[in-house]
Each structure stands twice: as structure tokens, then as C-alpha cells.
Structure 1
Amino acid sequence: MKFHRNLSEAVVAALQQIFFEQRYADKALEQILQSNKRWGARDRAFIAETTYDIVRWWRMLSEVTGKAPASEADVWAILGAWLHLEGHELPAWSEFEALNLAAIDKKRSQISHNPAVEESVPDWLYELGQQEVGERWNKELHALNLQAEVVLRVNTIKTTRDQLQKQLDAEGYETLALREYPDALQLVQRQNVFKSAAFKEGMFEVQDANSQLVAAYMDVKPGMRVIDACAGAGGKTLHIAALMENKGKIIAMDTEAWKLSNLKQRARRAGVSSIEPRVIESQKTIKRLAASADRLLLDVPCSGMGVLKRNPDSKWKLSADFISSIQVTQQEILQKYSKMLKPDGVMVYSTCSILPSENRKQVDAFLASEAGKDFTLLKDDNLMPAISGYDGFYMAQLKRKA
């Protein structure tokens, strides 16, 4: 494989933004990719996928190069080590001249005794995973270091899975229907599906397979009044609308107005008219909706410990303090937002985390509280990456007593 210098320079620039300027990987890459309109799809894919993979293995690569990267030259060394370990011949560039490939190979073989380095996570995060997940942690961590599959959710308001699969095939996108996920198609090859006519026509959204199970857990019916209280940009909101056949009303709430603005655009493309975006400006917004929802989704902010394969930079941005503080927020949301559910209604609490302290322990704490005394846990599920091959999620279905 021939490596073009300008593409490698783009990777190095993106890595410097992510690690030295503390920018999120997606934002850094967005800026880098917009800087050169002449790059084709293959060039852009190389920049993005190489950057994400190096971010994923940053600690291991730092270890084998023998230093904590602190300069542009160090980042070039990291890139060189990655190329070498991936089996590529290094280009004859000055940035790689000082690399000792034999020493890199030796150090790589020596780190297998340290799973935190081997799987490339901070020590504190490895120890937290051991405490919370137990003997399954190493398997889950390994699964979280694999590249995420590209999965589509069929918009059943506009098409069927079979029809969409045929349309995408005609456009040059080969997909697999996932048996256990009725609305899901998985790309056989990584491609930019956002350029497809099917996407522009609102036939699908890109959404992880396990993420698609959250809306299904709501057990919604057409005509219901549903509140999605932490809607964000609305991926699950749109799925709920499709499951309700665009009949009824969905109040999509969030504290960030710009996220709900994105949801409006997505809803228009999807042909969804049943969603009413509503910004949470204060607790009054919540109180006005007391006991009004047949179904309530609390897809709460979390550590993201189930989605590291698609957000590998969060390994380096997370902290123990953040995880503790987000757990306080999760319980506050359960305590306050649960009041929007009608008696005899069903609430789903969900996270994209695999940590019990964010999941079942939060539900148990809620049920033991005054606010949760009228609720019953019907069922819950842990969706684990090492078992399913997709993102990690937790879902709990609770019923409010009549």
C-alpha cells in the first residue's frame, strides 16, 4: 500500500487536535476533511479510519515508542509505529528515520502481561471495569476496541427492509439483514451511505443495532402520547415514531435547543409529523407535563462506556469524577422526570454504558426512594458488546402503579 504524505499529515494534524488541544475526534476530523475538497472518498476514509484506530490504541503505541507524546515529532513516531505494527512498509520520510523497528517489536511483545496497556486504556479505567464488570471485563474491553459496524435502521414509515435492501443494492451498497434486529441492515463494506439517494429520501438512519432495541423496549402503540425526555438529536425518537406508524404524539425534550433543531431536520427527511420538540428551560417544563405520558423514555446522559468502539477518544477524556457526577445526574433525572408518566404507564430507563453503577444500581436506588415507591420493575436487559458484537446498552422497563 502506498502512503501519500498529505494524507499522513492530515492524520498527524487530527491527532494533535485530539490529544494536545483536547478536541473531540469527530469535530477534529470534520475540520480536517473540510480543509481539502480534492480528497476523494478513499482518501477521506483513510484519514478518518487511521485517526480513529490510532486514537483507539494510543496508550499501547505510546508504550512501544517509549515516550508520552508531547510534540508533532512524537505524533509522527506514533504514526510510524502504527504503520509498522499493521504490517506496512514505512515510507522513506525523515520523520520515520529515528524509529527503531526492532525495539518497537520487542516492546510490543512485552506488554501482553499488562492488560491495561495491551487493551490501551488508562489504569484507573481498567480498574473500574474490573470492579464493576468482574471476570467479563477483559472480554468486553477487547470487544470495545474493535471497529464498529455500520448499521442502518430502516424507516418503516417510508419503506420496508426488503425494499430498502434492493434499492441500496442498486445504488452499489451491499447489506446484510440482521435476523434479531427487525429494522436493521448492516453494510458489508464501509461506505459513505449519506451520499445515497435512499438516505436523502429519508429511507433510513444510521443507528447501531443494539441502540435500535431501546425504542422497541418501549412497547408503544399507534395513537399513544409518548415523551422522550432526553431526546438529543432524536435517533431513538424517530424510531419510536416509526413504531407508532407516525400516529399519536411524541414530545421530544432536551436541554440543548440545537439538538432539537437537528431533530426537526431529520424528522422532515423521514416524513415524521408526530414529533413536538420542546426545550427543557426549567423544572416548570417538567411539571407542566405531570402524569401526561403513556410511555416515557429516559435515555439518560452517561459515561458512554458501551460505545467506546465508535468513540475511542472518550477513553482519554473520561475521568472518575465525571462518572461520579453523571451518576448524580442520572438519579436526579429518574427522580424528577418520572413524574411525567401516567399511572399504569410504562417508563424505560436506558444508558449506553455497561457499568452496573449507571444501570441496575440506579434503578434499584430509584425504586427504593419516595419517588419510585409507585413503580415496579417489569424487566431489564444488559446488551454486552462481546456477546452481540454491537454497542453496549442497558434497558429497564418500569410500570407506574394505577
Structure 2
Amino acid sequence: MRLHRNLCFAVIDGLMSIFNDEEYADKVIQQLLKRDKRWGSRDRGFVAETTYDIVRWKRLYAEIAEVKEPFNRDNLWRMFAVWATLKGIKLPDWKYFENTPTRKIKGRFDELSKIRKFRESIPDWIDAIGVEELGESKWTKEIAVQNKQADVILRVNTLKTSKEKLQNTLFDQDIETEFIKGYPSALKLTERANVFMTEAFKKGLFEVQDASSQLVAEMLHVEPGMKVVDTCAGAGGKTLHIASLMENKGQIIAMDIYESKLKKLKVRARRNGVHNIDMRVIDSTKPIKKLHNKADRVLIDAPCSGLGVLRRNPDAKWKLEPQFLDQIRGIQQDILQRYSKMVKSGGKLVYATCSILPSENENQINAFLESEAGKDFTFAKDKKVLAHESGYDGFYMALLERH
């Protein structure tokens, strides 16, 4: 592979924004890809994947390059040189790469690869909590998989098409997919492709949604005509799945504390042909109280550490802090206590997170069931999904039934 100056500069600029300005990697990369209209798909792929790669392995590369945060541009070029050397890419004769110690880089990599926190490039405190909550063996396997690139999984919008029809439609556009056993609405791309540019996406025939995430709506056991509340709807990936399972019949109330996210859901719902969603901003306690004892089904897709989806958000491990984890556990329990009151007698509640930590998952359910608010509920079942066992995102979901 030959390195091109303008593409490498784009990567360095992106890393400056992500590491020093604390911007989100996905947003930074979206902006970078608009930088030069002459770039082809290979150029854009290089910029996106190289930026994500260096973000993912920040700690390891910085240690090998012997640089410390906050990084200046020279530091980032040194880290880039480490990335290129370990990929076997010949460094061009540019001033940024003068005196790059190629052999030393490879030696340091071999040495540091024996230590998990460097090998998997994670902060000490995340490594410690992973071992504490999952055990040495399980954590070692899980964090290794969380550093691999995730597959692209589609969820078929069954309001508009079937899995077989969508597969044929995409095949005609040179995008090959395969079915995944046990995931009724999922198609996995055999090779990465920009599916958002396809006519099929513009027509609302599918959404991009990981296989594990698709299990959450399935666990609710919704039926057409029900009243369902999605309490932390966000931009609505699971809301739209619920709508398709309900065949557009009944009522879905999508709630969130951020109005901007619900606006995105509105756009997605229109594209998906979904018209049974009411959107409500949680700006006080009123919207929750109005729904007390009214819902057949309630989904709490709770805010969490996101440690089950680091493959998709590698910058999250650098933004997370121990105090956030303590804070989020308090919020999770508070949400369970308050939002569970919307479930009517005989109704069902699903609590879900994209975390792999028991303290955010089964421990929260146990604490809730032992509380005053939880005495009306019975534990039905739960599902713990680990990336190293499933091949898909780490997730947790629990089904509770109200007496």
C-alpha cells in the first residue's frame, strides 16, 4: 500500500479533534469524508478505518511511540508511523517519518503484547473492573473481541419487504448478504459496503442494527393493537423494530429526554412507512405519571457504559470515567423504579443495556425486584450476550411480568 499525503493529513486532523478536542469519532469521520469530493470509496475507506484503528489502539501506539497526552501533531505522526510499521506499510520519505525506529517498534510491540492492558489498549480502571465483574478468563476473551471490527448487520423492515426479497434486491446492487440463524429479521453483509447510498435504504427497506440489538424488541412479545412505551427511545432503532413487529397497528409512545433524538426518529419513521408512533419529550415527571398503569409493554433501553459495543465506538473507552459508571448505575435504578409504574396489570417490562457488566445488568434487576416498586413484578427470563460467544455486540436484556 502506498500512502497519500492528503489522506494521511486528514487522519492526523481527525485524531487531533478526537483526542484533544474530545469530539466523537463517528462525527469527526463523517466530516472528514466530505473533505474532498474527488476521493473514491477506497480513499474514504482508508481515512475512516485508519482513524478508527489509531483511536482503538491509542494506548498501545502511544506507549510504543513514547508519547504522552495531550498529543501534538508530531506525536500523532509518530503514532501513525507505529500503525504503518505494524501493518507492514513502507513509510514514504517525508519529514514526519524521519528516524522512525522500525525494528524497535516491532520489538516493543512484541514486548507489550504480553500485558493485557497494552495488548488490548484499555485504561487500567476498565481492565480492573472487567476482571472484577467477569473474571480473568471471560474478560480476556471479551475485550479481545471488542477490539475487532464489527460486522455490518441489517434489520429488514417487514412492513415493506421480506428478508428474501431484500437479499435479492441488494444482490442486484452488488451487495451480498447472508441469513443469521436465530435472528429472524437479520441480514449480514459478507463484505463491508456503504449501504446508506442504496435505493433500498432510501426506500426504507432496512435499517442498520446489530443482531444482538434486534433481540431486544423480540423479547417484548408485542402484538398488533397493543399500547407500547419505549422509554429511552433515542433515535429509535428499537422503536422501529417494535412497529414492524406490531404491523403498524396499535400505539407506540417513544419517549426521550432529548428532543433532537426524537426528531431523528421522526425522519426515520417516515422513511420506514411507520405511522403508529407518538413522540413525547420527558421534560418533567408529568409525561411518565400520565401513563401510570396504562402500557401493555414497556421497554427500558437504559443509558449505560456501552462496554458491550466498544467495537463500534472505540473512542468511548477513552471518554469513560469511573465516576460516570457509579453515576449511571444510580440513574439505571432510578429509571427502573419510576418507569416501571407505566406497566399495567398483566403487562410486561423489558430492561436492556449494551453493557456486559453484571453491576449494570442482573444486579440492577435483583435490586429492583427487592424494592417496594419491584414487588408487583416477577422475573420471567434474561439473556446475557457476550461478543466473544455470539460474534455480535455485548448486550443484556431481562423480561419482567407485572402481576
Determine if the TM-score, normalized by the shorter chain, exceeds 0.5.
Answer: yes
Paired amino acid for 1:10: A
**What are the superposed Cα offsets for residues 145-195 of structure 1, whole Å, 9 maximum, x if unpaired?**
000111000000000000000000001111111112111111111110000
Q: CA deviation at 1:56?
A: 0.7
Q: 4+ residue runs of structure 1 moved beyond 4 angstroms?
A: none
Paired amino acid for 2:399: Q
Q: CA deviation at 1:98?
A: 2.3
TM-score by length of 1: 0.99
Q: CA deviation at 1:94?
A: 1.1
Could you tell me which of 209, 212, 217 is aligned with 1:210?
Answer: 212
Distance in 2, Cα, partners of 1:316 & 1:7: 24
Q: Secondary structure at the match of 2:23?
A: coil
Q: How does 1:123-142 map to 2 (within 5 A)?
A: 123-134=124-135, 135-142=137-144
**What are the superposed Cα offsets for residues 263-297 of structure 1, whole Å, 9 maximum, x if unpaired?**
01000000001111111110111000101100000
Q: CA deviation at 1:38?
A: 2.2
Paired amino acid for 1:18: I
Q: Secondary structure at the match of 1:179?
A: coil
Q: Secondary structure at the match of 1:373?
A: helix
Distance in 2, Cα, partners of 1:336 & 1:400: 14
1:60 aligns with 2:60: yes
Q: CA deviation at 1:112?
A: 2.5
- The answer for the alignment partner of 2:31 in structure 1 is 31
Paired amino acid for 2:298: L
- The answer for the alignment partner of 1:117 in structure 2 is 118
Distance in 1, Cα, partners of 2:93 & 2:298: 59
Could you tell me which of 283, 286, 295 is aligned with 1:284?
Answer: 286
Q: Secondary structure at the match of 2:397?
A: strand
Paired amino acid for 1:6: N
Distance in 2, Cα, partners of 1:272 & 1:54: 39
Paired amino acid for 1:64: I
Paired amino acid for 1:238: L
- The answer for the alignment partner of 1:16 in structure 2 is 16
- The answer for the alignment partner of 2:98 in structure 1 is 97
Q: CA deviation at 1:36?
A: 2.1
Identity across the alignment (%): 54
- The answer for the alignment partner of 1:45 in structure 2 is 45
Q: CA deviation at 1:114?
A: 1.3
Q: How many residues align?
A: 401
8 Å CA contact 2:248, 2:274 repeated in 1: yes
TM-score by length of 2: 0.98
1:353 aligns with 2:355: yes
Structure 2 unmatched runs, 5+: none
Q: CA deviation at 1:27?
A: 1.5
Distance in 2, Cα, partners of 1:205 & 1:346: 26
- The answer for the alignment partner of 1:316 in structure 2 is 318
Q: CA deviation at 1:201?
A: 0.6
Q: How does 1:215-230 map to 2 (within 5 A)?
A: 215-230=217-232
Q: CA deviation at 1:35?
A: 2.5
**What are the superposed Cα offsets for residues 191-248 of structure 1, whole Å, 9 maximum, x if unpaired?**
1000001000100000001110000011111111100000000000000000111111
- The answer for the alignment partner of 2:73 in structure 1 is 72
- The answer for the alignment partner of 2:372 in structure 1 is 370
Q: CA deviation at 1:40?
A: 2.0
Paired amino acid for 1:377: F
